[in-house]
Amino acid sequence: MSLTCGIIGLPNVGKSTIFNALTSSSIPAENYPFCTIEPHMGIVPLPDSRLDVLEKIYTPEKVTPANVEFTDIAGLVKGASKGEGLGNQFLGQIRQVDAIIHVVRCFEDENISHVEESIDPIRDIELIETELLLADLSTIEKTIMRLEKLSKTDKKISVDFELVKKLKIFCDDGNPARNFSCNSSELNFIKSMFLLTAKPIMYIANINEEELVSDSHGKFSDLLFSKFDKAGSEVIKLCGKVEQEISTLDKNEQVEFLSEYNLHEPGLNVLIRKAFGLLNLETYFTGGKTEVRAWTIKKGSSAPRAASEIHTDFEKGFIKAEIIKYEDLKRVGSEKLAKDSGLSRLEGKEYTVQDGDCIFFHFNV
């Protein structure tokens, strides 16, 4: 399953630094706008300690984690919705991703300029959100014009037309499309419009080293958490500069480095897991002597749909799924003991796969 998180923000907020650390690559992170023009893409393994446990149980030849795909999109500027700063190109790149990670600068550094000449995370977020919303309103208005003619002769289109008019009123008031209340059928139509503000979003407060070792938020990140975390939006903070340093170290050096900052894991691990959740994804496992593997599926997937991630024949010829819960397998220590203890069960086509299920599929083609 290939779903992508797009990393956005103003120029010089640390997007490319964080992306470089995520992918251990070396995209230019220069102190001027648009140093990243073409979107850079990277596939990053999902940190999952459950794979370590399953590796000990199965002792396989290889272990394959789930992955998260990230795209580093060049910095947006005021006026992007009107084409400023290659805005049309960048907005088009955002339109192609499935979720948005908005990096916000929450540190001061006189050596790194800010396009607005001061540090203000709330202003920066509102600036970007405004550009995305203006682009969406343009899309909505074009959709209304198209549907208005067709709605006079088609009842189904008439329903869609009324929906889009309500959505325009909602967005005209400055609200992102993701907050528009609608049923599942209406949501599917809105998704077909590829609106930028309809995409799920999370915020990263890019902080300095001093705040990283502090027990409290700095003045800038505190503004971000106070406004967006309390409103139910996902907000995390990390120091892009430190994360890039960590990404260049081997595992033993990482442990030592992290202990100096009193951290138990890199902040990027948290980011990757949060991004996975933002995409509404979960994992199930298959295990054997050849391979232990984490498979990526949408939350709420049926057993046959989950099986199709391995091969489409598994879905077509699905008979049943043999399920062992990860926690049960971890507790007893082997697949045989789990089965002997009655911890394995058979499920049919209607079963909804749960995160952490260890599955053996029975199929016939």
The reply to whether 188 and 69 lie within a common domain is yes
**Residue 291 belongs to some domain of the structure:** no
The reply to whether 209 and 66 lie within a common domain is yes
The reply to whether 273 and 306 lie within a common domain is no
pLDDT of residue 127: 92
**Residue 289 belongs to some domain of the structure:** no
Phi, psi torsion values for 298, nearest 5 degrees: -70, 140
Q: Of the candidates 245, 278, 311, which is a domain's last residue?
A: 278
**Residue 359 belongs to some domain of the structure:** yes
Model confidence band, residue 82 (pLDDT cutoffs 50, 70, 90): low
**Residue 288 belongs to some domain of the structure:** no
In this predicted structure, the answer to whether residue 264 has a pLDDT above a threshold of 80 is yes
pLDDT of residue 2: 74
- Give 18-73 pLDDT, tens digit per residue: 998 998 744 444 444 433 435 588 889 999 999 999 999 999 999 999 999 999 98
pLDDT of residue 87: 52
The reply to whether 308 and 274 lie within a common domain is no
**Residue 182 belongs to some domain of the structure:** yes
The reply to whether 145 and 259 lie within a common domain is yes
The reply to whether 112 and 179 lie within a common domain is yes
pLDDT of residue 30: 45
Q: The CATH number of the domain where 26 resides is what?
A: 3.40.50.300
Determine the length of the chain. Answer: 365
pTM strictly above 0.85 = yes
Least confident of 78-87, 88-97, 185-194, 319-328: 78-87
Give me the mean pLDDT over the 202-208 stretch.
96
Number of domains in the chain: 2
pLDDT of residue 53: 98
What is the extent of the structural domain holding 325? 300-363
99-105/4-8 β-pairing: parallel
pLDDT of residue 84: 55
